Amino acid sequence: MSSSLSKRVLLAAVVGAGLGALAFHFVGPTVGVAADAMSDGQRWLAGLDKYAIGPLGQIFLLLLFMLVAPLLFAALALGIAGLKDLKSLGRLGLKTLAYTVTVSAIAVLLGVTLVQALQPGAGVDPAMRERMLAGAAERAASVTGGGPVKTGVELFVQMVPDNVFKTTANGDYLALMIFALFFGVGMVLVKSPKVDALRDALEGLYEVMMKLIAIVIGFAPIGVFALMFTLTAQLGYEVLSLLAGYVGVVLLGLALHQFVVYSLAVKYLGGMSPLRFFRDVQEAMITAFSTASSNATLPTALRVAEEKLKLPHHVSRFVLTLGSTANQNGTALFEGVTVLFLAQFYGVHLELSQQIMVVAVCVLGGIGTAGVPSGSLPVIALILGMIGVPVEGVGIIVGVNGFLDMCRTTLNVTGDLAAAVVVARGEPFEPGDARP
């Protein structure tokens, strides 16, 4: 999001939450109360939520879901197809892919562990949780299509679709992501002008989806106002203290991954002093924080890698270009923390198999949402629907998403540079490279 839009979204979240909390305080709850037991004020508030404000929030979520299938397919297939130089680069491409998947998985596991240990979404008053679940179940079904929650071996067997269009229509986006992975691998293996034309078509689809997502996000202040008003009007102001705990857990996870995981990777896998690394990449980190865009930071990151880190040109250009669209550790960690926080918030118990699925989808989501403004939101919403958590929870975190987006983009860009350091170790320098 732009700085102006982030401010408007934050203002809309504050105003919506404030008005909803005031309505709850003076009128009382409207969910879980029989119609004949409601006061006139409760009936008026329930009608306002059902026929006016509530639908605005639902339309915002539905627009995100409308765009998520083509967006994820194009982005994930292109992310894998971006390894088209894997054969010619050989060891370089394999090292990049292995590092990206491993460190992204560590990021998600770190976030999931923090949520399980600190329980930021737990401690909700049982009466408030009943109101939450009563008010959210019907609306969640309208967005996700309802259906039973898959558990155990079903989750893994049904990842492979017999009909990708049917499963996607039923809300099973994980199957679509698996198909996109296979599709991308096929594009890597087949070399022909027609495949090049197909890649161009997918890039066009990706650009169109990015533009449409940007348009939808432009209406985020309205959607966030509606979602936050509905949430606090039903639950009261207690929900806001839980949100503060969630932000703290996200920031803690990002900080640990930034200064612990990356330090260890740079030192032991890249052979570089962590102090030197963070000193040299400061410019790229500041640019990432201020722009909240990995793609916008790419030129700065390339210059830092070649002029300050003194990495071989062919390594830095390959790793950073691929990483700006596929190595999104901060995004993956953020999605994992958010999904488990909202599951705790709504009192939805996740089995181990479901948590493993969340980790896998978040790692893939780190590839599939790269470069898309606030692209984590539709991915988070679809994961919530897959595990039976009301998707209205997205409205809770959108208000603080702008600031967290800046923080996780900083982690993403730092991760790309750390990956370049690791992959460059042992690679030969070419004529014109600045040697350390």
pLDDT per position as a tens digit, 220-254:
788 878 877 887 787 677 667 777 889 999 999 99
Give the tens place of pLDDT for each residue, 121-165.
877 667 666 655 555 444 444 444 444 444 445 545 666 777 777
| 390 lies in some domain | yes
Looking at 82-125, list the stretches that DSSP marks H as alpha helix, in order from N- to C-terminal side.
86-89, 91-118
| 278 lies in some domain | yes
Place of tokens 């596991």: 109
| 91 lies in some domain | yes
Report whether 334 contacts 250 (CB < 8 A): yes
| 432 lies in some domain | no
CATH number at residue 300: 1.10.3860
Report whether 328 contacts 293 (CB < 8 A): no
Can you give the residue range of the structural domain that contains 21?
3-424
- Whether the pTM exceeds 0.75: the reply is no
Tokens representing residue 142 in the block: 């309208």
Distances (CA, A) of 34 to 22, 29, 46: 21, 11, 11
| 429 lies in some domain | no
Span 1-29, average pLDDT:
78
Domains: count for the chain: 1
Half-sphere CA count of 20, side-chain side, radius 13 A: 29
pLDDT confidence of residue 337: 92
Tokens representing residue 323 in the block: 């990483």
Instruction: Round the average pLDDT of the chain to a whole number and report it.
Output: 78
| 435 lies in some domain | no
Give the tens place of pLDDT for each residue, 73-107.
887 687 667 655 555 445 667 787 788 889 989 99
pLDDT confidence of residue 3: 58
pLDDT confidence of residue 145: 43
| 430 lies in some domain | no
Q: Indicate the length of the chain as a whole number.
A: 436
Q: List b or e across 168-190, with b for residues whose CB sees 16 or more CB atoms inside 10 angstroms.
A: beebbbbbbbbbbbebbeebbee
The whole-angstrom separation of Cα 418 and Cα 265 is 7
Span 391-409, average pLDDT:
77
| 52 lies in some domain | yes
pLDDT confidence of residue 436: 53
Amino acid 417 reads L
The whole-angstrom separation of Cα 154 and Cα 314 is 44
The whole-angstrom separation of Cα 367 and Cα 185 is 14
> Which position has the higher pLDDT, 80 or 51?
51
